Structure 1
Amino acid sequence: MADSEKRKVLFIVNPISGSNQKYRLTDEITRICEKHHLIAEFFKTTGENDKQKISKAIEKHAPDVVTAVGGDGTVNMVAGLLKNTGIKLAILPTGSANGMAYELNIPTNMDSAIGIIARNVSKRIDLLMINNQHLAVHLSDLGMNARIIKRFDREKIRGIYGYSRQFFKELKSPSKFKCIVQYKDRHPRKYKAVMVVMLNTHYFGTGAMVNPVGKIDDGKFEIVVIKPYPWYYIFRMFLAFFSGRIHRLRHIRIISCSYAKITVTPPQDLQIDGEPTGEIRNIEIENIPKAVDVIYNDRQEHLLFKPSRILK
């Protein structure tokens, strides 16, 4: 196959993400791309003016696909630059948190993931805009999980063990807060909560399904309110999360909308795609329909729970 017939893929590599520090990643990607008849180009992030530099790299290389090589934070940055451009987004999951890769059924095996890029099956999906400032690709939340991620971000222990350690610390005494949700022309809904999740995806990165009722491309998103629960309810919650039945529990409320405002008292930690943003009292969320064209795995062979509602 002539080079002029091959598709060009620009890989945006976060060199400090997960396993990217362990071996010569670009050499391995180049080798696999050659096998799949793809031309690989690379840009490595430095943490300084990355968005501007990536934009210039996209202009220079004119790729067919831009691939985020890292975790959810890297995916978020790349997706924001590709929004409404027509250039496809792909994911090579190598981060501590790979929630969006799990959502799109992208395995961590590099050869398999690049094979999915080569198959080029894609779909336009919705994104969320938060406070007219932050883009959310996978999910955002207030309260318990955001505090876990903030502590996890400060710890030197990474991976699932590091997250689990912080999770069980928080589980012992989750903090309650008041929450008011305003959407459409309805009266504000008031709740007591330990966590509020905003997403149009389905899964946490662990594979727990927090949103069984949503679709990733229907012009709406879901607000999942997790209300205070007694300690003995934890095991039932775990079972419901991993069986896709969380919406049937009396301690869960799910609201579908395209725009909403949320007020919490006292202010709560907010995280967006695995990145802590600090405490906040008011949050405004708007759905951005069909904002980015993303490559996904349509064969669904690696997930325990099949995402039947995701990409229909």
Structure 2
Amino acid sequence: MRSRILFIVNPISGGQVKTFIPSLIDQYLDDRLYDAEIIFTEYPGHATQLAEAAVSSNVDIVASVGGDGTINEVACALESSSKTMAIIPCGSGNGLARTLKIPLDNRKAIQKLNKAKIVKIDSGTFNERKFFNMAGIGFDAHISALFAQDKNRGFKGYIQSTFREIAQYQAQEYQISVDGAVYQEKAFMISIANSSQYGNNAHISPFASLNDGLLDVCVIKPFPVYKFPLLAYRMFAKLAHKSNYVKIYRGSNIKITRATEGPVHIDGEPLFFPKEINVGVKPLSLSLIV
């Protein structure tokens, strides 16, 4: 009996038009195994609505075709359900897909579905909002807000925004509680890592695991701007944990308090949160094809 699979396609993720996706699915997905349906999203949040409808239907697998933001929308609906998720990465950074070693070549990613291997991963909560790859406060949240409005989406646009803003951004004071232990930190940014990387193989927490029931709280301390290239190099070399400007705490019950409300990002999507943020983890709550 064939499995029903729904492909939810974000037509603009990563700055790439996705009109070619249906033909790739028709060509490379084994129709002896799958009965496929394809729907293109039309507005923010549409992917979640489509995935929620799939959960209450006889669809077996929901495939997210887009970046980490689209993955988040779909996964929010599928988390803790009986449905399985698949990923066809088409974003700017593709952090979760890279961590799971899902091919970035769309053809190969679709072909992988024909030999489906299912794993379970943890999910995180950020004041009850779900995330699956990375959430953050500070400079990366500031950049995410700017990037969301930038017409030059993609890795190049992200780097341009970073270099434009980095010199003038001011570090902030935070109180961080991790499983009862309390720390006072002045931080340029704080990243809550479920996987090891932001995307594009920039690893902030090289030993983070998607299935250990823990989250890594990565504190990036204020640093001289001229040190940024070295810090960036360490991330791409999986050596960020060895930097004097990076401190990593690991736990499952986390609370972060800052002086005022402000921006955050959840899987790269900008939001505005109060000054107190409660962070939790749901172990092995999402089934994924890899």
Per the normalisation by structure 2, the TM-score is 0.92
Q: 1:168 is aligned with what amino acid? A: F
**Does 1:152 find its partner at 2:147?**
yes
Q: 1:204 aligns with which of 177, 198, 219?
A: 198
Rate the CA distance shift 1:45–1:269 in 2: closer, same or farther, 3 A: same
Residue of structure 1 in register with 2:97 after alignment: 101
Q: Deviation at 1:236?
A: 2.4
Residue of structure 2 in register with 1:175 after alignment: 170
Count of residues in correspondence between the two structures: 289
Q: 1:224 is aligned with what amino acid? A: C
Residues 181-205 of structure 1: CA deviation (Å, up to 9, x unaligned)? 012232x200111000012210111
Q: Superposition pairs for residues 223-262 of structure 1, below 5 Å?
A: 223-262=217-256
Residue of structure 1 in register with 2:56 after alignment: 59
Q: Deviation at 1:19?
A: 5.8
Q: Deviation at 1:34?
A: 3.6
Q: Deviation at 1:35?
A: 6.7
Contact 1:178 1:264 in 2 (8 A): yes
Q: 1:123 aligns with which of 119, 131, 145?
A: 119
Structure 1 residue ranges without an equivalent (≥5): 297-312
Residue of structure 1 in register with 2:27 after alignment: 31
Residue of structure 2 in register with 1:15 after alignment: 11
Residue of structure 2 in register with 1:217 after alignment: 211
Query: What percent identity do the matched residue pairs reach?
Result: 29
Q: 1:194 aligns with which of 188, 192, 195?
A: 188
Residues 124-153 of structure 1: CA deviation (Å, up to 9, x unaligned)? 110001112x10011011111111111111
Distance 1:146 1:281 in 2: 14
**Does 1:46 find its partner at 2:23?**
no
Per the normalisation by structure 1, the TM-score is 0.86
Return structure 1 stretches of 4+ with deviation > 6 angstroms: none
Instruction: Select between 29-38 and 195-204 the one with higher mean Cα deviation.
Output: 29-38
Residue of structure 2 in register with 1:80 after alignment: 76
Q: Deviation at 1:84?
A: 1.7
Rate the CA distance shift 1:150–1:67 in 2: closer, same or farther, 3 A: same
Structure 2 residue ranges without an equivalent (≥5): none
Distance 1:23 1:294 in 2: 25
